[in-house]
Amino acid sequence: MIETTPRARRRTSKKAEIVAPRQGFRLPRPIRRLQRQAPMYAIQGLSSLSTRLRDLTGRDVIDMGRIMEVVQFIYQQRELARRGPNYTVDEFGFDPQWTESFLTVFKALYRDYWRVETNGVENIPPAGRALLVANHAGVLPWDGTMIKTAVFAEHPHPRHVRALVAGQFMGMPVMSWFLRRSGQAVGHPDDTLRLLERDELVLVFPEGTRGTGKSFRDRYRLRRFGRGGFVATAIRAQAPIIPISVVGSEEIYPMIGDLGPVARFFGLPYFPVTPFWPWLGPLGMIPLPSKWRIQFHAPVDVSDLPPSAAADQHIVMSLADEGRDTIQKGIYENLKLRRGVFF
């Protein structure tokens, strides 16, 4: 029999009072208004401080332009996070809006850290397909990131570049998601052809992991371009080939050794040893601030070749060697223009 005495009813009432949902606490209106306006007040305060410091020292101590870029990046990430599942990607997983939100970070590396000097970017067509072919180095593919940033930052008609990466990296859980989301695809001829047929700019590194994994003593000496598969794909797609010479990427992680057994254990093409990695742990993965130069050479037109020429190994290798020689010559010329590794 259930107890219904006043004491029992009080206990039930108290229990209900404890478990009943409480109304959400709302901050007073002036505090909520201050929360919304705090970023604006902070920027105004920094601007005033920047002006006073400039008056006192005669130079810009606080770069408000850079601060505004950081603020813009934070707001972009917040807005993108609010999209939830309501965004679209292409069949390769590319999210242009999300990728462009990181341009602030990449432009800072491009302008301030590696101080990239670019020439010949006008050789990139403002529209339509093209196959970009570059030398590859630096252990991690920062050269691809800087090429992509150069085309978006320097070209009068900014365009996204779709880089092709080794299949091993597409098998890594987090890395695979980031690469696909930012526009990369597996370095397979079928994917290359599909992207070109969609009038994309496609970036390939014919040296592959042989380029990024070469030792420091072999820096700026191009490896063989394989069997010229990229040329055959360009002929099939009737896409011009644009050679690119990159100087600066060889010095960001000077590779003095390769721990082969460790690399095989983790399923990697190589496990680099540098003056700082793995001795300094995560700090050893910070790239050195070398001075970069990127040169976009004149396009190689293949439109006069029939698609059947893609099966002619003599034509394919001749064009591949021509592109390799152009890139190697451009590397030597740009090395002469650089005052030093870091200047």
Domains and CATH numbers, the chain: 96-252+287-337 (3.40.1130.10)
User: Is 42's pLDDT higher than 80?
Assistant: no
User: Is 294's pLDDT higher than 80?
Assistant: yes
The one-letter code for the residue type at 26 is R
Helix (H, G, I), strand (E, B) or coil at 145: helix
Phi, psi dihedrals of residue 149, rounded to the nearest 5°: -65, -40
Sign of the CA dihedral running 167, 172, 173, 178: negative
So what's the pLDDT on residue 58?
A: 75
Q: Which residue has the tokens 């987090």?
A: 174
Sequence-ordered list of residues with C-beta below 8 angstroms from that of 229, at least 6 positions apart, any chain = 189
So what's the pLDDT on residue 21?
A: 44
- Dist CA 101 CA 132 (whole Å): 24
Q: Which two tokens stand for residue 340?
A: 């030093």
Helix (H, G, I), strand (E, B) or coil at 185: strand
Q: Which residue has the tokens 């439109």?
A: 303
Give per-residue pLDDT as tens, 211-270. 788 888 888 999 888 889 999 999 999 999 999 999 999 999 999 898 888 888 877 778
Nearest to 324 by CA among 172, 204, 163: 204
So what's the pLDDT on residue 295?
A: 98
Beta bridge partners of 132: 203, 242
User: Is 12's pLDDT higher than 50?
Assistant: no
**CB of 187 closer than 8 Å to CB of 165:** yes
Helix (H, G, I), strand (E, B) or coil at 86: coil
Q: Is 281 left (phi over 0), alpha (psi -120 to 50) or beta?
A: left
- Dist CA 289 CA 115 (whole Å): 9
Burial annotation 302-333 (CB, 10 A radius, 16+ → b, else e): beebeeebbeeeebbbebbeebbebbbebbee
Mean pLDDT value of segment 140-150: 93
Phi, psi dihedrals of residue 132, rounded to the nearest 5°: -90, 130
Mean pLDDT value of segment 83-87: 76
pLDDT-derived band at 172, boundaries 50, 70, 90: confident
Mean pLDDT value of segment 189-209: 93
User: Is 329's pLDDT higher than 80?
Assistant: yes
**Cα torsion through 296, 157, 145, 216, rounded to 10:** 10
pLDDT-derived band at 185, boundaries 50, 70, 90: very high
Of 91-95, 210-214, 293-297, the poorest mean pLDDT is in: 210-214
Mean pLDDT value of segment 61-67: 65
| pLDDT, greater one: 324 or 51 | 324
Q: How far is CA 17 from the centre of its chain?
A: 55
- Dist CA 81 CA 84 (whole Å): 6
Sequence-ordered list of residues with C-beta below 8 angstroms from that of 117, at least 6 positions apart, any chain = 292, 293, 294
Task: State which H helix or E strand residue 331 sits in.
Answer: helix 313-337
So what's the pLDDT on residue 140?
A: 83
User: Is 13's pLDDT higher than 90?
Assistant: no
So what's the pLDDT on residue 2?
A: 46
So what's the pLDDT on residue 20?
A: 44
Angle at 256 between CA 252 and CA 258, to 5 degrees: 105
- Dist CA 295 CA 13 (whole Å): 79
**CB of 302 closer than 8 Å to CB of 238:** yes
What radius of gyration, in Å, describes the C-alpha atoms of the chain? 27
So what's the pLDDT on residue 18?
A: 41
Beta bridge partners of 186: 165
Beta bridge partners of 296: 244
So what's the pLDDT on residue 81?
A: 76
- Dist CA 208 CA 204 (whole Å): 9
Q: Which two tokens stand for residue 93?
A: 């997983």
- Residues of the chain with pLDDT > 90, as a percent, come to 50
So what's the pLDDT on residue 4?
A: 52
| pLDDT, greater one: 63 or 208 | 208
Average of per-residue pLDDT values in the chain: 85
Task: State the pTM of this model.
Answer: 0.80
